[in-house]
Each structure stands twice: as structure tokens, then as C-alpha cells.
Chains A and B, each alone.
Chain A
Amino acid sequence: MMQRLRNSAVHHGFGAAAVARVAPVVPIDEAPLGPPKVRLEGITQRYQNGSKTPLTAIENINLEIHAGEFLCIVGPSGCGKSTLLHMIAGLMRPSEGEVWIDERRVENTGTDRILIFQELGLFPWLTVAENVEFGMRHGMGLNKQERRARVAQYLKLVHLGQFADSYIHQLSGGMRQRVALARALATEPDVLLMDEPFAALDAQTRDLLHDELERIWAETGRTIIFVTHNVREAVRLGDRVVVLTFRPGRVKREFNVDLPRPRSLEDPEVALTARDILDDLREEIDKSLEVEYAK
């Protein structure tokens, strides 16, 4: 199947080497010189799982993410990709290893890096505008005027200006997603961490939000670390895709995605690249399924 797809793509004149397969760390052409924005150094996470030997969820992950880069992390469920984001956000400490942002070690949460949770975690007792305002008010202590200006600015950015006074339960899934995005962007973090944010959405809404995210990323120049189990989504969005192994989570491979933007999920090149990555990922998914069904 894969072979056929690839052949037909070549027939149609698409570049055969859309994907650069490379070993551990890849120098990226566009990356600016100097220290990386985010650096993961020997991250290991163990859980005392009741049994005598602790479960190693993540093992020795080393990654460097450069300013303005869009990095996607894919892996089977249980590879610790969400945990990795929580560590960068400062919500939890790794058992071993360190997270560095701009050569500062991450000790706690901070508004310089905001995580968009899979389940969003919007506050239902606040209006849309108050949700967006939250980080600026309670995390940064900005004054009222500035907060108000930024709320308006970021709600406009995600096309929710008219819903400023609505409550979360009054919004659709796609709109909630955009509120979460606006809330995260409003603190103007250098690093945006996204944990499978579009997994629960229908295809149309997701396509729309991909476009918006790509636009916002291009406009604001943020560094984005995006976790997903959907390889196509990763190729659609990322400059680079990192594949993690299943339990313990390790970096299995990195792929540079040099496809021109804007991309679309339906682009044959995206599909082709995704195939390639999926081959690698399949092994890990099989392993995770084995464990799942063995239970």
C-alpha cells in the first residue's frame, strides 16, 4: 500500500526525498545561531508503581528546540509525551535530568511558557474574556488597561471578539479550543506547549484551527512544541517531527519536514512524509497494543 502510494507520487512528479531521515540531532537551516530556546537534558521519569521495580516511563530524552521552531512530538499512547510537556511547563519535575529555557533551569511554572491541555482546563466560572485575562492578571500582574487591550487583541486574533462575555458552556468545541489558544497567547509566552489540542474535534474544525495556528505562529514567531498521536497532523504543522518509543519513552528518530507552507492535511507530500514516519511509529504502536491486550 505504502509502496504504491509512493510510486504514484513519484509518477506525478513529487520530490522523492521530501523527508530527510537523520540520526539524533539535526542542525536546522533556518535555526538562528546561539543557544536553543528549550533544552531537555537527560530527562528520565520513573514511577513507583506499587511493584518493587519502578516503571520507567521516560528514559534519557535529550532535545533542543530553537526559537521560532515548530516541533511536533509523536508517539503511541503511554510514551510519556504529555508528561514531557508538563515538565517543560514546570508542572512536574523529572526524576532525573533538567529542562532549560534560555539557559535558565525550569523550577516552577511561568508565563513565559504556557501549556494548552488536552482537556483545555478553561474556567467555567469565568467569561471568555476573563479566561483570557487570567494569566495576565494572576500570573503577570498587568494593569487593567493593558489587560483589556490584550484581551480584545487576542480574542480578535482567534475570531471570538463577539463572544467575550459568553461562558464556556455556551461555546462549541472548536470555539473552546480557540479560547484556550487565546488564553495561552495572551500572556505572550515565548514557548507554546500544546498537548493533543485538536484530538477531540471534527475534521473540518480541526483543519480550520490548523490554518489558524499556522497563521498565528507565523505572525507571532512563537516557539511551539506540539504533541499529537496523529502523524499527518504532525507533518502538516511541524518543522521537525520527533518520534518517541513506547515505554520507556525515548527519542526513536527525528525527521525534518522541508515542505513548503502553507500545507494541508490532504497534500500528497504530507501524506507521503507521514507514511514514512508512520512506518517508524508502527513498531512502537504494535508494542503498546501488545501491552494493552496482554492486560
Chain B
Amino acid sequence: MKKAGKHIAFYGALLLIWVVLAKLKIWPPYVFPDPKGVFESLYAGFSDKTFLIAIGVSMRRMLLGYGLSVALGMVLGLLVASNKFFEETLGGLLVSLQSLPSICWLPLAVLWFGLTEKAILFVVVMGSLLSVTISMETGRRQMPKIYGMAGRNLGARGLRLFFFVLLPASLPYIVTGLKQGWAFAWRSLISGEMIFVSLGLGQLLMMGRDLNDMSQVIAVMLLIIAIGYIVDGLVFQTVERRLQRKWGVEEAAA
């Protein structure tokens, strides 16, 4: 309750400052819109469904791209974690590649795939694949060895051992990386859409700029923050916490 009170006070004050600044008219409204204009923009966007369509398009790309990078990252991560040769070679390459901002892949993607969905997907995958791979690898290492031994002891081998023991056992260690991967994918997607301009939230943002509609720009920014927060802060953190409690790694993490 106390925490909620603090939040209300903080965001209330923030809103108040915004209103006051806008009312003072230091800057013209097309540079610094007031909250009312932004909320009208939000309302209009949702009522004529443009925002909904944009969210739908962006989310579809996210799910596809992120899903792909999770699947690929799992395989790559396992390869690196279970093979000394790949650990020393591929492992190093992955870490160094992580310093490359994902948007740098866009020119390459456009040349390879043209102005298609595939190019955007490629950017999203490249943005999150590395962090998923690295977290998969460290997850496999951090996982207590006892689970693998217990699984083998009970007769599970090969793929069964992997899917029914090793994978679930390393889940609480991987989920942090999956969360990070999601955040990277989300950023890559939005920046990709901004340059690429073909539906989606990123394009809506650029459209706001082209129309000089600052209210819409801020409205879309709020949307992007909200979606990021809901997925990252609510979905992933809840899953993470529940996993850690159930797996009994909570005490170790604290």
C-alpha cells in the first residue's frame, strides 16, 4: 500500500510539472504538447484502430523473431556449453559480436532480403540471439550437476535427458537471459521499424514526426514503454520469481 502511495505521488507530481510547463507556453504546443493533447492522440489512435493494428504487426514480428532467436540460441548455447572447441572459438566470437548494435545489421539485411518482413526479422533475431545464446550457455553451466546425474540414474538418456531434465533444470538460470533477450529484441524491432517504415509501432513514431504531430510521437513512445514494461516487468519477472522459488534457487540468489 505504502509503495502504491509513493508511486501515485511520484507520477502525479510528474504529470503536474508537465501540465504546468505546458500551460506556461514556454515552447509552442507542436514542440511541447500538453498531456491532454497526448491523451487525445492515444484515444484517437485506439478508436480508429491504427494503434491496435500497429501493435498487432509489431507483436507478430516480435513473437516470430524472438521465437526464432530462442530456438536458435538454445542450440547454439548448448553447442558452446558442451563442446570445448566451440567454447573456445564460437564463444569468443559471440561475446565480441555482442558489442555490435543490432541496427548495424540492417544495411546487410536490406541487401540480402530486400525491403521485406524477412529483413526486419533478421534484425530482431540478430539483436536477441546473442544474449539468448550466452544465457543458455551460462545456464547450462550454473545448473547443479545433480539433476543430470539423477536423470541418468533413473534411466533417461539422450534427447529425453535433455528435454525432461537438463532443459527444465536450467530454466531458472536461463530465464534471466530470456528476459534480456526480449528487451534486446524489442529495441531492435522498434529501431528497425523506424528506419524501415512498413507498419508497426516504429513506423507510427516516424509518421508522427513527418506530420509534425508531437502528441502522436509522445503517445507512441508511451505505448512502447508500456508494452515493454508489461512484458518485461510483469510477465518475465513474475515467471522468474516463481521459477526461482519453486526450484529453490531463491536463497542462493539472495
Hey, which bits of chain A sit against chain B, CB under 8 A? Answer: 86, 89, 91, 109-111, 114-115, 117, 119-125, 134-135, 138-140, 167-169, 183, 187
Contacts and interface: CB of A to CB of B under 8 A. Distances in A.
Interface string B209-246: 00000000000000000000000000000000000011
15 contacts: A91-B149, A91-B153, A109-B153, A111-B154, A114-B154, A117-B146, A120-B146, A123-B168, A124-B246, A125-B169, A134-B151, A135-B155, A138-B161, A169-B246, A187-B154
B42 interface: no
Interface string B150-190: 11111111001100110011010000000000000000000
B146 A134 contact: no
A138 B161 CA distance: 8
Contact of A117 (B150, B157, B164): B150
A92 B95 CA distance: 34
Nearest to A113: B153
Contacts of A135: 154-155
Contacts of B32: none
Contact of B153 (A89, A124, A125, A167): A89
8 smallest A-B Cβ distances: which pairs?
Answer: A139-B155, A121-B150, A135-B154, A138-B156, A121-B146, A111-B155, A125-B168, A124-B247
B171 A125 contact: yes
Contacts, number: 68
B86 interface: no
B105 interface: no
Interface size class of B (residues with CB under 8 A): 20 to 34
Interface centre among A119, A123, A135 (most CB of B within 10 A): A123
Given A123-B165, A169-B248, A117 B149 contact: yes
A169 B153 CA distance: 22
Contacts of A169: 245-248
Contact of A138 (B146, B164, B247): B164
A119 B144 CA distance: 11
Contacts of B147: 121, 123
A239 B248 CA distance: 37
Contacts of A187: 154-155
| Chain B contact residues: helix, strand, loop or mixed | helix
Contacts of A121: 146-147, 149-150, 153
Contact of B247 (A89, A125, A183): A125
A125 B156 CA distance: 16
B160 to A, nearest CB: 5
B152 A109 contact: yes
Contacts of B151: 134, 138
Given A109-B157, A117-B146, 15 more contacts: A91-B149, A110-B155, A111-B154, A114-B153, A115-B153, A117-B150, A121-B150, A125-B171, A135-B154, A138-B151, A138-B154, A138-B155, A138-B160, A140-B155, A168-B248
A110 B171 CA distance: 26
A135 B154 CA distance: 5
Contacts of B169: 123, 125
A166 B141 CA distance: 28
Nearest to B156: A138
B245 to A, nearest CB: 7
Nearest to B145: A121
A121 B246 CA distance: 14
Nearest to B161: A138
B49 to A, nearest CB: 41
Contacts of A110: 155
Nearest to B168: A125
A175 to B, nearest CB: 14
A89 B155 CA distance: 10
A144 to B, nearest CB: 16
A187 B245 CA distance: 29
A125 B154 contact: no
Contacts of B155: 109-111, 135, 138-140, 187
Interface centre among A89, A121, A183 (most CB of B within 10 A): A121
A220 to B, nearest CB: 18
A4 B191 CA distance: 85
A123 B150 CA distance: 9
A68 B232 CA distance: 56
A111 to B, nearest CB: 4
Interface centre among A89, A124, A169 (most CB of B within 10 A): A124
A125 B246 contact: yes
Given A117-B150, A123-B147, A134 B156 contact: yes
A119 B146 contact: yes
B155 to A, nearest CB: 2
